[in-house]
Amino acid sequence: MTTEPASASASTSPDAPAEVASAGTPATPKGLAAEATRRRTFAVISHPDAGKSTLTEALALHAKMISEAGAVHGKAGRRSTVSDWMEMEKARGISVSSTALQFNYKSGESEPNDPISVINLVDTPGHSDFSEDTYRVLTAVDAAVMLIDAAKGLEPQTLKLFQVCRHRGIPVITVINKWDRPGQTPLELLDEIHERIGLTPTPLYWPVGIAGDFRGLLRRGEDGAPQEYIRFTRTAGGATIAPEEILDADAAAARDGSDWETAVEESELLSASGQDHDQEMFLAGQTSPVIFASAMLNFGVRQILDTLVALAPAPGPRDDIKGASREVTDPFSAVVFKVQAGMDTSHRDRLAFMRIVSGVFERGMVVTHAQTGKPFTTKYAQTVFGRERSTVESAYPGDVVGLVNATALAPGHTLFTDKKVEFPPIPSFAPEHFSVLRAESASKYKQFRRAVEQLDSEGVVQVLRNDIRGDAAPVMAAVGPMQFEVVAARMKAEFSVEARMEGLPYALARRTDAESATELGRQRGVEVFTRSDGVMLALISDKWRLQYLQKELPELTLEPLVATAD
């Protein structure tokens, strides 16, 4: 199999590491634990247009994986970011799929003999229509960076995603982005975070200069006292790393006068309010370290990486489906959290992303697929950097590895060696939008069916069928309508199938059973389908029709689907 060095674009830095550094396969639990300790696996979450993909690219730039950032995607004549590879993403300037990036990083605060950290960063879809994909990603990470637009503050999608993090016990680092543009005051933003989500913000770096006049960052000490002033210099278009000048308090006061003094006073006010960092409270989900930044200008980006290395938790034990703890030093196990096809248009392959939970992964090893009990050979295993890939020979807990053409794998599946282990499945969201999918040309029926099967297995949409509509007209069920656009675009791009959607007049889905299906099928405003996993769903026109059925036919099974985001 032909492979390429891990890179993000043609502008890859000549001194970028060709592959993620590894100490070799550890022969002992101690060596394996040391490898896990070097890992930081996190997701970037936010409302659409808060700058997630731009930040992802800026982080890769500071890790020297690329030499020049791609700037704003979707603008004529300018490149898209490395993590946005679908044509739809490039055209609209939004992320509609999750992507994984892996790279080495040596913190500026590291000692010469400190090990190099391995960063596994999973960029998530920004649009709320793809919240199910984001939820899957959050099952595979150990921490999250919550990105907030300085002007807009907390937005609905951000709040929803934070609740997912809280539910899963994922510690959150808050980055207030776009400080180079006019926005709210920093204290107003902190008050909003505390009041709306009950999280105590504990800034590690405080902005010098108001929103729209970003000079630099005051680095706060343990007691809130200013340790130093990090002053940034703009580069052309923010395409390269912004130079930093480190000043002590006296030099900072001489350089930026009243702006520095205001920052110092506000930092002291934070300490008086008890808003200094406490690691135990952070890991317990009670506080969130805060950094102010401009991903577009590359201001504050190094500080984000340093904070992740210093404070974010390394991979730890995970409970299996029986509630037993799987330690990182146990034999190999992994969870599939994402399946994606169409990343390589030359080969039309299918990549299953797995998060390694325990043990050592070695390419070519034979593992067991927990859901089928069948052996699975991992001959084609790759690390991913955006759309580019390189073959991975070994990987460790916390790493994200892509298995090529793993057609038997689906999100939530477990792989293992030695004694059987199975991790809890990833539940599906309750769909709210429904459309019949049809091929424009009957001659393309085989390609149509193959495309539907692939998109269903990836979890792009839920596919529903019944005897009346048949296989030629399956029903697509989605959390948001933009998922339908992705289906149509990918069918055309990857299978050369023109397809059309016909909306259905349903707004609710409820789980039902075979005993109830016959009577439900007689009711107006109701249609019963079977999902590809065998679950029977009753689609209902509106909440009033549902209330009528529950009142008049209480013996029928109409159960809510699990709301996984709650």
Residue 142 annotated in ligand binding: no
Fold of 318-416: Elongation Factor Tu (Ef-tu); domain 3 (2.40.30)
> Residue 114 is encoded by which pair of tokens?
């400190």
Give the mean model confidence (pLDDT) for residues 522-536.
92
Pairing state between β 414-416 and 333-341: antiparallel
> Residue 147 is encoded by which pair of tokens?
């990105």
Fold of 42-311: Rossmann fold (3.40.50)
Residue 124 annotated in ligand binding: yes
Domain boundaries, the chain: 42-311, 318-416, 433-560
Q: Which of 408, 411, 405 is nearest to 349 (CA)?
A: 405
Q: What tens digit of pLDDT does each residue of 192-245 get?
A: 999 999 899 999 999 999 999 999 999 998 777 778 999 999 998 888 999 999
Q: What is the mean pLDDT of the chain?
A: 84
Q: What tens digit of pLDDT does each residue of 94-141 get?
A: 444 446 788 899 887 766 777 899 999 987 765 454 566 777 888 899
> Is pTM beyond 0.75 here?
yes
What share of the chain in percent tops pLDDT 90? 53
Q: Which of 178-192, 313-327, 475-489, 490-504 has the lowest mean pLDDT?
A: 475-489
Residue 20 has pLDDT above 90, yes or no: no
Q: Strand, coil or helix: what is 217?
A: strand
CA angle at residue 302 from 309 to 314, to 5 degrees? 10
Distance separating alpha carbons of residues 140 and 158, to the nearest angstrom: 19
Residue 127 annotated in ligand binding: yes
Q: Which of 250, 247, 179 is nearest to 218 (CA)?
A: 247
pLDDT score, position 348 = 58
Identify the burial level of 145 via C-beta atoms within 10 angstroms of its C-beta, where 0-12 means exposed, 13-18 middle and 19 or more buried: buried
Band of pLDDT at residue 70, cut at 50, 70 and 90: low
**Phi-psi domain of 266 (left: phi exceeds 0; alpha: psi -120 through 50; beta: other):** alpha
pLDDT score, position 128 = 52
Residue 125 annotated in ligand binding: yes
pLDDT score, position 99 = 66
Q: What tens digit of pLDDT does each residue of 255-275 get?
A: 999 999 999 999 999 999 999
pLDDT score, position 269 = 94
Choices 3.30.70.3280, 3.50.50.60, 3.10.20.810, 3.30.420.40: CATH for 433-560: 3.30.70.3280
